[in-house]
Amino acid sequence: SSTPIKVAVTGAAGQIGYSLLFRIASGDLFGPHTPVELRLLEIAPALPALEGVVMELLDGAFPLLDSVQIGDNPEKVFDGVNAALLVGARPRGPGMERRDLLEANGAIFSAQGKALNNGAAEDLRVVVTGNPANTNALIALSNAPDIPASRFTALTRLDHNRALAQLAAKLHCPVRELNRMTIWGNHSASQYPDIFSARRGEQSISDLIDDQHWLEQEFIPTVANRGAAIIAARGSSSAASAASATIDHLRDWVLGTPNQDWVSMAVPSDGSYGVAEGIVSSFPCTAQDGEYRIVPDLELNDFSRARIDASVSELLEEREAVTQLGFL
């Protein structure tokens, strides 16, 4: 359609923002026929830097970019938005405990949840990239009682894409031949990348790779620790790949997933697969007509069951911590 979509991006002056904004402006999110209006949120000290990014965005002369607004007030920036990409978050500083991190981000994501509740468009869709992403999404949705909880999701697509990349390398095949990869649980080191439903074409991966040592000692730790490996190599955390995954997540939710395949999204649990109802946990999901659905009826072996339960119990601990802090 030619009606512009209003897209909010938070943390827009950050590393991920620097890649993400240009991908959105060039049409990678909603396709080559849909204009976008960007609404960029930052904290006040980062607004001058953000003005520089806006200058570059304008200099891109993107035909699909109708307008760019910036600000540090979520109520104003989120007014009327159809999509919100919540990327900005408080990083863990020196000496900061996990509780301090949850507290700092709880304040950010409860305020942003309220602002979305007050002013976002009826069809709002939210993806939280800023860490701790799953629990930040839970806090935002809990502070937005008038918006269906299902509209709040968190990013595990980067983990999903990393898992596909590792599997493609192992099989010496292009990523496009692989399908039905799943990330379960939290976007953290406890995540479980599950290859037991995955396929190359129509061939089961378990028939192609029967190597529990590789699975446990190489594949899973490589995927789970990929962020740290990138920091070690690049000197800063993954940014372009995180931006690309954020685009993939929202684009597939809105425009649909391919037939015979699915994606990984952290979504509010409906109790599927024994995952406690209400927590934001990663599942295999398909999407059609702008609605996602958790893939039903997959069989889980004991290995998968134990890994999923471990990641889910970490999410339950995070929920308990932010409940005690008063954010839910």
The catalytic residues are 187
Closest CB to ligand NAX among residues 42, 318: 42
CA-to-CA separations, 260 to 126, 179, 289, 290, 295, in angstroms, rounded? 25, 8, 16, 17, 11
Q: Which of 6, 7, 14, 162 binds ligand NAX (CB under 6 A)?
A: 14
Confirm or reject binding of residue 190 to ligand NAX (CB under 6 A).
no
Minimum CB separation from ligand NAX for residue 12, in Å?
Answer: 7
Q: Which stretch binds ligand NAX (CB under 6 A): 23-31, 42-50, 193-201, 287-295?
A: 42-50
Binding mask 232-251 for ligand NAX (x = CB under 6 A): -----xxx--x---------
Minimum CB separation from ligand NAX for residue 158, in Å?
Answer: 4
Specify the 3-state DSSP secondary structure of 204.
Answer: strand
How many residues touch ligand NAX (CB under 6 A)? 29
Strands (DSSP E) contained in 65-150 are 65-71, 83-86, 125-128
Minimum CB separation from ligand NAX for residue 102, in Å?
Answer: 13
Closest CA to 70 of 9, 124, 113, 128: 9
- CA 291/CA 134 separation, integer angstroms: 19
Alpha helices in 60-95 (DSSP H): 74-77
Any residues with CB less than 8 A from the CB of 195 and at least 6 apart, and which?
163, 167, 181, 205, 206, 209, 215, 219
Residues that bind ligand NAX (CB under 6 A): 10-11, 13-17, 41-43, 46, 87-91, 108, 129-131, 133, 155, 158, 187, 227, 237-239, 242
- Residue numbers belonging to the annotated binding site for NAD(+): 11-17, 105, 112, 129-131
